[in-house]
Structure 1
Amino acid sequence: MKSVNLPICYMLMCFGNALSQHVTEVDISSCSLTCGQRQTGAVPSVAGRPGKRGAKGNKGDVGNKGGKGDQCICEIEDAREIVEIKTQMAALHPECHQTRFYLPRKTQTSDYFRIKTALPELHDFTVCTRIKGSGTNGKVDGTVISYAVGAKYNRILLIADSQNVIGVNINDQYGQVTNIMQNGVEYHACFTRSIAPRSVKWYVNGVMKKDLTSSYSQYEPIPAGGVFILGQDQDASAGGFDSTQAFAGEFQNPTVWSRALSDTEISILSDSKCSCIPDAVVLEATPDAVQLEGAAALLLPDDCF
């Protein structure tokens, strides 16, 4: 198990010493990062593409024509530097928590994020996150969100499979939608559940794509006190992972509300990463609330748009 502080070095990928510069569109594909040996072992290298600033990539400085071979080397020895980086993250847009996480490997069970925040009992709720699957071919595949309570492992489950289907599982009841999300493309995905009146809706990029209400015969509350994981499907509490159901790629701003957001509110969230709806938030994946496992990494958030 890693602490949040260990993978913080990934946030410096392709940024060199210019921490104050906010760089967009950093693609993790061709620029390696080495963080060296730590007390918990070596951190796997992660790749990234030179960005759009500077004349030429040099030790992580990004540039229009920077070559692929430049190595971005990060060595954070002083905890004060880590605090400084977190402070810079928080100052980017203090009105909203901006977070970005990365899972580099697909067919494994060791990489995932566990949210340490305890969810209350949920009657109505909304779950939203930005996701970007790794790869250049095919659709997003794998488990996005898994919430298990005791021996009930599918209290909330959002999973995409190889059959071009996304499953929205609520209290062991299963609704499904056609998967339109391509790997390598960022999407804002949400689903809402209301008990009275009964309603379950699925949204992509701010637009309601399917009303799933009829897929659920029971509208019971989601119990409190469970385990909330990003990137793996729980078939046992905090475990029982299947490598074929693992997710690889990025998550941004995963959030849970204890009410069903309106169509307008979800559209606002989709339109800008800086937007937030603070009313009734019960879970936010802020850096201090996330336990990183395996090669899971915390990245510097993208600029807002």
Structure 2
Amino acid sequence: MKCAALLLCVVLSLDSASSGHLSENLLLFPKESNTAYVQLTPLKPLSLSAFTLCMRISVDPHVVDAEGRETILFAYRTKDFDELNLWQEKGQLSFYMSSGTGAIFPLKPLSTFRTNLCLTWESSSGLAAFWVDGRRSMLQEYRKNHRVQPGGVVILGQDPDTFVGDFEEKQSFVGEISDVNMWDFVLTERQIRAFNEKYWLGPIPNVLRWSEMEGDVKGEVLVVPEKNL
């Protein structure tokens, strides 16, 4: 009976076009799609010379580990450019800012087990790193003196090749995402490690804040209350 009640709760939270708070929920993208996505509402424009982006994430490896597949993890696009995209591609993690080549990190692919994933970047030095469950990758220099431009949309689940459209099924996200938070500065190692704790006591996120996040849900995305899991 408890399982049936949970399933009913999940199904009732699914809507082809709905909006609402995402706090204490996770987003489940159950299968490949070119229609399912969630558009997030930032607290302020993404005009960034530095950032820390964190999320809790797990994937369906049977889908996303398929040979030659690219999987979008986070997308921020303006009308003209992919301003900031995170990917799992070729069994590695990567991110791209604006046009051109990306920064590729030879890290183990994500798995069915939840991972605390963060990315840091700072313009004046160009130094960037992925953080996986509190452990930092080797630093890379990428897009020194660049700036992320405002006026775009933040999307989970799809890679928009136009402003909010032209999605490709073979690039769609399949798995769970929650606790997406973003700061307009680089957190310290100690602060990032604290993100591994459910009740996190670090600096309050000032760009994207999951605890106050508004999400516009499109297509087959399940909004699952974490308290019931």
Post-superposition Cα deviations, 1:171-193, rounded to whole Å, max 9, x if no partner, equal: 33410112413431111111111
Please list, as runs of the form range in 1=range in 2, the aligned pairs for 1:131-170 lying within 5 A after superposition.
Answer: 131-135=57-61, 139=65, 142-153=71-82, 155-161=83-89, 163-170=90-97
User: Structure 2: how far apart are the matches of 1:123 and 1:34?
Assistant: 39
User: Structure 2: how far apart are the matches of 1:277 and 1:99?
Assistant: 20
In terms of fraction of residues, the more strand-rich structure is: 2
Deviation at 1:280? 4.9
Inter-CA distance 254–276: structure 2 relative to 1 (3 Å threshold) = farther
Structure 1: which 4+ aligned runs deviate by more than 3 Å?
Answer: 31-36, 135-141, 285-288
Q: Which amino acid aligns with 1:291?
A: D
Inter-CA distance 34–164: structure 2 relative to 1 (3 Å threshold) = closer
TM-score scaled by length of structure 1: 0.63
User: Structure 2: how far apart are the matches of 1:165 and 1:16?
Assistant: 38
Among 88, 98, 103, the alignment partner of 1:171 is 98
Q: What secondary structure, in the 3-state scheme, does the structure 2 residue paired with 1:264 have? A: helix
1:149 and 1:224 in contact (8 A); partners too: yes
Inter-CA distance 235–138: structure 2 relative to 1 (3 Å threshold) = closer
TM-score scaled by length of structure 2: 0.82
1:143 and 1:232 in contact (8 A); partners too: yes
2:40 and 2:213 in contact (8 A); partners too: no
Inter-CA distance 16–238: structure 2 relative to 1 (3 Å threshold) = same
Q: Which amino acid aligns with 2:221?
A: A
Among 190, 193, 198, the alignment partner of 1:264 is 190
Deviation at 1:261? 0.8
Among 195, 219, 222, the alignment partner of 2:123 is 195
Q: Which has the higher contact order (CA 8 A, sep 6+)?
A: 2
Alignment RMSD? 3.2
Instruction: Indicate the larger mover: 174-183 or 221-230.
Output: 174-183
Inter-CA distance 286–102: structure 2 relative to 1 (3 Å threshold) = farther
Which residue of 2 is the match for residue 181 of structure 1? 109
Q: Which structure: larger Rg? A: 1
Q: Which amino acid aligns with 2:92?
A: V
Q: Which amino acid aligns with 1:192?
A: T
Q: Does 1:14 align with 2:6?
A: no
Post-superposition Cα deviations, 1:108-157, rounded to whole Å, max 9, x if no partner, equal: 2111111022533111111110101024687496111010012112x110
Post-superposition Cα deviations, 1:204-247, rounded to whole Å, max 9, x if no partner, equal: 1111023122xx24432111121100111121111121111101
**Aligned residues with identical type, % of pairs:** 18
2:181 and 2:210 in contact (8 A); partners too: yes
Gaps of at least 5 residues in structure 2 are none
Please list, as runs of the form range in 1=range in 2, the aligned pairs for 1:78-227 lying within 5 A after superposition.
Answer: 97-106=23-32, 108-117=33-42, 118-135=44-61, 139=65, 142-153=71-82, 155-161=83-89, 163-172=90-99, 173-213=101-141, 216-227=142-153
Inter-CA distance 35–229: structure 2 relative to 1 (3 Å threshold) = closer
Deviation at 1:32? 8.7
